[in-house]
Structure 1
């Protein structure tokens, strides 16, 4: 290809500038018309103007111009690149090879097919969100799912808001404003984004009454903290950390008995609450919502998008009279969920009616219980594919790993896994090279997200399903190192 610049072929930059076509002339070409058909006249005009301004600055600076292109072709090509870049959604699908199944930064739980179909229908058709089909009058959106939630949890009533932090905030605002809430010091957790239980209480207008010490709290600590200003006793499940050693905590049923003897309600924030005993699937056990209700808790709050495996939501279940008070609070409207959340949540909850099929149908549970042997076979299939794409500068091996559940659930427990490990081929520390590789993986059309640890890039295959394996392998050829 020949190049034309300010010091070749006798063309001065000013002469080249004079040959840059007007925007209207570029718009009249067939190439620009095809772009207009796709993006509309307004965007294309703006993009061609921007491309024209850039070209003029480059010509004045003496930047070579590829003479195999006409000015019109170059301007349309540059405009299309701008428009394609602008049109690319910021929320994009990625390959989650971090080893964390419920990764908060990557969207947590993946919805099962039943929920996806329900959301598509809710997106494209009118729905009876707040319309009672039986009476023809206005309905309550909670009525769509509260009966199902109560069936699965054993609670008298239920309501749904947009996440579990909102569920706790609404509960405290409705029941404990300007009053005291008794909580063990060892349960004052901080969740993602630096949101802390004491801060949520403060925003709710409730006063925190800390009892016990970080590692030990006794029933008498709860007893001695109760006074005329006490609104409720509260326990917070420490799902995102664990304290070991010389420790003691008070059970839900003991705190509930004390609360009821004093005429007070007792609330439990389960965080990433589960509706089934995970131990039956070979996973570490977690207290279920039903067991917590059966133990005497008057209110239980938990997430929809963690161990439950559904959309982002905060569920509040418990005594009917308390749920009524919560639903009447002004914050309920501000924190309520929309039709898409309800459309996704109901079919997920429906899956729990057939527990014998849950492992197969609930995406989160299927990923958490995926056999390590499946991932080992997958890593052997993909090892050479990735090695070929990376070249001799890197060494790729298939190795055992340890996944984690994520999103604060069972923080000290690990799941046997398998994946690909990339190291510097020459045995040297590969810090910069691995960071460059990680960046290149994130720059792929469908970004690949792994993790760097122990001077290696680890790609845990737990969340790489069979349907995505071929796409991942095909993308490896597009790596630009």
Structure 2
């Protein structure tokens, strides 16, 4: 890649690029030189207006790298794919593979990739994307904000007894809306309404999931 250090190039009559007062690793000590447009295969996305001090990659190099990108079907049959991704849903793995290949194509067109990664590297990058996508989004953090009931951090924590009670019921079927004593459908709110009435001394109670619903 030819790199020019100095003032940006400009287009001049006659179809040449002229660089004024520049220093170049390939043209030492020369203060002015011209390069004909036909001598360089510019990338299709390069424009005269935003041409900077680094020449974009040649079209033949970019095209050669793009043509050498492994096909999806070949990667799916690769031994490394079977070892790393056979246990994940096929649709998810294919989607992540297409994203990986799209990112690779973009990097090649931008000139960020000069050597095509191996099939094993492409599969490894895809496997990381798949693994990251199936990780649970919620995880424990340390609240160092000084705010005890913090909305962004899950508000109040549940006690161990409450968590154990939830886990015991959540792992099984339960009588959520079934009156076991009467043998018929019951009221899901009754499980805690009686407790609230005893705690508050109120004749009745209503349970909502946020304060706005209580208005």
Q: Deviations over 1:406-450 (max 9, x none)?
A: xxxxxxxxxxxxxxxxxxxxxxxxxxxxxxxxxxxxxxxxxxxxx
Please show how residues 364-403 of structure 1 align to structure 2 within 5 Å: none
Q: Look up the match of 1:75.
A: 122
Where does the alignment leave 5 or more consecutive residues of structure 2 unmatched? 1-56
> Residues of 1 paired with 2:180 and 2:191: CA distance?
11
Distance 1:127 1:77, change over 3 A: same
Distance 1:84 1:98, change over 3 A: same
RMSD of Structure 2 on Structure 1 (CA):
2.5
Secondary structure, aligned partner of 1:157? coil
> Residues of 2 paired with 1:63 and 1:144: CA distance?
62
Q: Look up the match of 2:185.
A: 138
Secondary structure, aligned partner of 1:15? helix
Q: Look up the match of 2:166.
A: 119
> Residues of 1 paired with 2:84 and 2:94: CA distance?
10
Q: Look up the match of 1:58.
A: 107
Aligned residues: 158
Q: Is the 8 A contact 1:101 1:108 kept in 2?
A: yes
The normalised TM-score by structure 1 is: 0.30
> Residues of 2 paired with 1:91 and 1:101: CA distance?
19
Secondary structure, aligned partner of 1:145? helix
Q: Look up the match of 1:161.
A: 208
> Residues of 1 paired with 2:96 and 2:70: CA distance?
15
> Residues of 2 paired with 1:47 and 1:38: CA distance?
14
Q: Look up the match of 2:68.
A: 19
Where does the alignment leave 5 or more consecutive residues of structure 1 unmatched? 1-5, 170-481
> Residues of 1 paired with 2:93 and 2:139: CA distance?
24
Instruction: Quote the offset at 1:128 in angstroms.
Output: 0.4
Q: Is the 8 A contact 1:35 1:80 kept in 2?
A: yes
> Residues of 1 paired with 2:174 and 2:104: CA distance?
51
1:37 aligns with 2:101: no
> Residues of 1 paired with 2:115 and 2:149: CA distance?
49
Q: What is the aligned counterpart of 1:108 among 155, 164, 174?
A: 155
Secondary structure, aligned partner of 1:161? coil
Highest RCO, 1 vs 2 (Cα 8 Å, sep ≥ 6): 1
> Residues of 2 paired with 1:101 and 1:66: CA distance?
53
> Residues of 1 paired with 2:184 and 2:101: CA distance?
59
1:97 aligns with 2:150: no
> Residues of 1 paired with 2:177 and 2:206: CA distance?
14
Q: Is the 8 A contact 1:35 1:44 kept in 2?
A: no
Distance 1:12 1:103, change over 3 A: same
Q: Which runs of 4+ in 1 moved over 4 A?
A: none
Q: Is the 8 A contact 2:100 2:125 kept in 1?
A: yes
Q: Look up the match of 2:24.
A: none
Q: Deviations over 1:299-321 (max 9, x none)?
A: xxxxxxxxxxxxxxxxxxxxxxx
Q: Kindly indicate which of the two structures has a greater share of residues assigned to strand.
A: 1
Q: Deviations over 1:280-311 (max 9, x none)?
A: xxxxxxxxxxxxxxxxxxxxxxxxxxxxxxxx
Distance 1:19 1:147, change over 3 A: same
Please show how residues 37-436 of structure 1 align to structure 2 within 5 Å: 37-65=86-114, 69-70=117-118, 72-167=119-214, 169=215
